[in-house]
Amino acid sequence: MIREMVLSFIGVLALPAWADYPEKSVRIVVGFTPGGGPDIIARHLAQELGAMWKQQVIVENRPGAGGSLGAAAVARAAPDGYTLLSVSSAHAAAPAIYSKLPYETKELTGITLTGVSKYVLVVSPSLGITSLQQLLRTVREKPGRFNFSSAGVGSGTHFAAEILKARAKIDVVHVPFKGIPEALSETVTGRVQFFMAPIANAVGPVKDGRLLPLAVSSRERDALLPQVPTVAEAGVPDYESTLWFGLLTSAAVPRAIVDKVSADVGKVLSSSTTRERWQPIGIEPRPTTPAAFDQLLAEEIRVFTEIARGANIRAE
User: What pLDDT, on the 0 to 100 scale, is given for residue 54?
Assistant: 97
What pLDDT band is residue 274 in, cutting at 50, 70 and 90? very high
**272 CB contacts (<8 Å, ≥6 apart)?**
none
Instruction: Tell me what the mean pLDDT of segment 86-113 comes to.
Output: 94
* pLDDT higher at 236 or 66: 236
Please give the pLDDT value at position 6. 45
User: What is the chain's percent helix, strand, coil content, to nearest 5?
Assistant: 45, 20, 35
* pLDDT of 4 strictly over 60: no
Q: How confident is the model at residue 316 (pLDDT cuts 50, 70, 90)?
A: low
Residue 18 above 70 pLDDT?
no
**Percentage of the chain lying above the pLDDT 90 cut:** 80
23-116+243-311 with 118-216: one CATH topology? Answer: yes
Q: What is the pTM of this model?
A: 0.84
Spans of all domains in the chain: 23-116+243-311, 118-216
Mean pLDDT of 18-31: 91
Average pLDDT, whole number, for the chain?
92
Overall average pLDDT of the 289-313 stretch: 93
- Res 273: pLDDT: 96
**Do residues 127 and 154 touch, judged by C-beta distance below 8 A?**
no
CB atoms within 10 A of CB 72: 22
Q: What pLDDT score does 82 carry?
A: 98
pLDDT of residue 262: 98
Local confidence band at 5 (pLDDT 50, 70, 90 cut-offs): very low
In the structure, what pLDDT confidence band is assigned to residue 200 with cuts at 50, 70 and 90?
A: confident
How many CA atoms within 13 Å lie on the side-chain side of 78? Answer: 5
* pLDDT of the residue at 24: 97
> In this structure, are residues 46 and 57 in contact, taking their beta carbons and an 8 Å threshold?
yes
What CATH number does the domain located at 118-216 have?
3.40.190.10
Q: Does pLDDT of 147 surpass 70?
A: yes
CATH of 23-116+243-311, one of 3.40.190.150, 3.30.70.120, 3.40.50.300, 3.40.190.10: 3.40.190.150
The 10s digit of each residue's pLDDT in 112-128 is 999 999 999 999 999 99
Residues sharing a CB contact under 8 Å with residue 65, sequence separation 6 or more, in sequence order: 98, 102, 315
